[in-house]
A and B are shown apart, each in its own frame.
Chain A
């Protein structure tokens, strides 16, 4: 340890003496030799590096702001795409302006026709049908008909996508949540009906005011209050609740459509 300390002192003395001599040599000799070299660009380079231009300063300040905007725009763009993708996977008609909706409805009719033809014996070309619209693919997934595709397997609880459920009714709007889809319908008299489709294994809390009815093989429960009709039933782990302010007939028609299709 003692020798180590002495060595450290020696190295310090040696190095100090060296830089003293080196500095003296540089000052006396090389400083003169270097005087002729041009350092004009060096001034500019160093000035630029030490004093970023006003534009650069602003740029640096704006970078986080720009990054924020970029993230926002990317989010907006991708979230829209994700919504579309999700809707497509679920095969749900999105709410559209009336004119556009009518056009989609026509398309859907064609798709449904194709679907029925295929079910009836494959009169239509299978490839054409499977690639026609997502409505058909979802029908297959729902019914378990035809070739099982990966897309079909993904859909565990396909929502109400097939238009015949709503025959006689107009879909005014649809809202999608994680475990629930809500359809805002109107009948031919422009009376409002709400259909809630929940991925829920339990029936609503039924009290003594509910009356039980059999619709096909399913038991449905109807509640009639002063200004509201509520019909609810459980079908293959999906709970359907229909609400109307005008009459219960529409609720039964819709329920029969849903149940008979399963």
Chain B
């Protein structure tokens, strides 16, 4: 870890400094909205920035909408991880696999052409996804991260990343189908 921090370039350092000072409050704000505890929100935000620091090379334009969305995706996921950890410690354990097992809709994505065009309403369908599914889906398809990198970001296994992305697509397909955006073969 020490080596990782010491061998970073000056440019990467500047980039990180900029991201941190520009967006630290936004990320803290988003974390606080989930955790409702300032100290825990700080922990989640600092953890998110550590993860971002490790994958800084992927960020090209520090002020792009895509980058801001990416930062918020990471901090949101970090905060939710803390919530789930607290739930496990205090009350009912939340088993991701069990929670999402029942959402298997039976859609075979390989046999289904969803749509050729994207509309504003379709984007809202992504908001219907739970964060556990939305984050890996967006990291893969919007930010072009590999499953390995996503696993590192979200602190889960690569297998889990694959499962979550698959289920995110199934769930999206189901919602889009219900909304009439899917053109079946």
Chain A residues with a Cβ under 8 A of chain B: 1, 3-4, 6-7, 10-24, 26-27, 30-31, 33-35, 37, 39, 41-43, 45-46, 49-52, 57, 60
Contacts and interface: CB of A to CB of B under 8 A. Distances in A.
B115 A22 contact: no
A35 B185 CA distance: 50
A7 B123 contact: no
B32 A18 contact: no
Contact of A15 (B25, B46, B110, B141): B141
B67 A23 contact: yes
A49 B46 contact: yes
Mostly helix, strand, loop or mixed at chain A's interface? helix
A39 B140 CA distance: 30
Interface in B25-59: 25-26, 28-30, 32, 39, 42-43, 45-46, 49-50, 53
B111 interface: yes
Contact of A37 (B25, B39, B116): B25
Interface string B129-146: 000000001101111000
Given A7-B112, A11-B172, A15-B137, A20 B2 contact: no
24 contacts: A3-B185, A6-B114, A7-B113, A11-B114, A11-B141, A11-B172, A14-B123, A15-B142, A16-B142, A18-B138, A19-B143, A26-B72, A27-B65, A34-B26, A34-B30, A37-B25, A37-B32, A39-B25, A41-B42, A42-B45, A45-B42, A45-B43, A49-B46, A52-B2
A29 B120 CA distance: 18
Contact of B26 (A7, A21, A26, A52): A26
Interface of B: 2, 5, 20, 23-26, 28-30, 32, 39, 42-43, 45-46, 49-50, 53, 64-70, 72-73, 109-116, 118, 120, 122-123, 126, 137-138, 140-143, 169, 172, 185
B43 A18 contact: no
Q: Is the interface of B mostly helix, strand, loop or mixed?
A: helix
Contacts of B110: 1, 3-4, 7
Contacts of A42: 24, 28, 42, 45-46
Contacts of B185: 3
A37 B28 contact: yes
A18 B26 contact: no
B152 to A, nearest CB: 17
B142 A31 contact: no
B28 A23 contact: no
Contacts of A20: 65-66, 69
Given A15-B126, A18-B123, A6 B25 contact: no
Nearest to A57: B2
Given A7-B109, A39-B25, A17 B123 contact: yes
A45 to B, nearest CB: 5
Given A6-B113, A27-B68, A41-B42, A35 B25 contact: yes
A10 B39 CA distance: 40
Contacts of A45: 42-43, 46
